[in-house]
A and B are shown apart, each in its own frame.
Chain A
Amino acid sequence: EADIYQTPRYLVIGTGKKITLECSQTMGHDKMYWYQQDPGMELHLIHYSYGVNSTEKGDLSSESTVSRIRTEHFPLTLESARPSHTSQYLCASSQPGGPYEQYFGPGTRLTVT
């Protein structure tokens, strides 16, 4: 089993609230990723990081932001949640070099009412 964790697993929140989705890994991986996946649809990369203080936007435009202050931690923040943000958010990590296998966390299922 991969040592990558996400909290909360489920979140139901009202419009306009600020939320932070947590992602941590204990594998020492430099690379971390955030994906968004709607039911029955493909994963879309929204953010990635190749190490501390490195963050990049992914292929899908997102109103969220990320930070990478510590290797093991890669939180995603939405300043003002909207119903259009309702989706599943998956965090992943991989070791340097590669491309190597990406290990995924269990995901956060977000519902914005």
Chain B
Amino acid sequence: RKEVEQDPGPFNVPEGATVAFNCTYSNSASQSFFWYRQDCRKEPKLLMSVYSSGNEDGRFTAQLNRASQYISLLIRDSKLSDSATYLCVVTYGNEKLTFGTGTRLTIIP
């Protein structure tokens, strides 16, 4: 079983729709959680950190459920520019990041 698992998609979503991804992690001792975004043939970039209380950044909302060991990302009012691969990232306190395979999202006009 992989340490971090994501539905690879692809998710094809019409512009303006709301889309949500989940990510599960296997190590209950995981301490920090992030969502990164990676555009096609580009490097990953931090989208947002995920806090226990949940956090929101504009159209993006991240949630953490420690009991069920999953994190989620919600995108509201999706834009064409949101098309990318979204990477779930987990750390175990040693500051090395463990990446999921990513979920590919395509926003359709």
Residues of A within 8 A of B (CB): 31, 33, 40-43, 45, 48, 58-59, 90, 94, 98-99, 101-102, 104-107
Q: Which applies to chain B's interface (DSSP): helix, strand, loop or mixed?
A: strand
Beta-carbon contact of B32 and A99 below 8 Å: yes
**B9 nearest CB across to chain A (Å):** 11
Given A59-B96, A98-B95, verify A41-B101 contact (CB < 8 Å).
yes
Beta-carbon contact of B96 and A104 below 8 Å: no
- Which of chain A's residues have a CB closer than 8 A to the CB of B96? 33, 45, 48, 58-59
CB-defined A-B contacts under 8 Å, sample of 9: A33-B96, A40-B8, A42-B4, A42-B87, A43-B44, A43-B99, A98-B95, A99-B91, A104-B45
Complex Cα–Cα for A31 and B102 (A)? 24
**B33 nearest CB across to chain A (Å):** 10
Beta-carbon contact of B42 and A102 below 8 Å: no
> 0/1 per residue, B79-109, Cβ < 8 Å to A?
0000000010001000111111110000000
Residues of B within 8 A of A (CB): 4, 8, 31-32, 34, 42-46, 87, 91, 95-102
Q: Which of A33, A42, A59, A90 contacts B43 (CB 8 A)?
A: A90
- Which of chain B's residues have a CB closer than 8 A to the CB of A58? 96
Beta-carbon contact of B43 and A101 below 8 Å: no
- Which of chain A's residues have a CB closer than 8 A to the CB of B102? 42
Q: A40-B101, A42-B100, A58-B96 are in contact. List 15 more A-B contacts (CB 8 A).
A: A40-B8, A42-B87, A42-B99, A42-B101, A43-B87, A43-B99, A45-B97, A59-B96, A94-B95, A99-B31, A99-B32, A99-B91, A105-B43, A107-B42, A107-B43
- Which of chain B's residues have a CB closer than 8 A to the CB of A40? 8, 101
Complex Cα–Cα for A45 and B102 (A)? 16
Complex Cα–Cα for A20 and B96 (A)? 24
Beta-carbon contact of B43 and A102 below 8 Å: no
**A91 nearest CB across to chain B (Å):** 9
- Which of chain A's residues have a CB closer than 8 A to the CB of B95? 31, 94, 98-99
Complex Cα–Cα for A105 and B45 (A)? 10
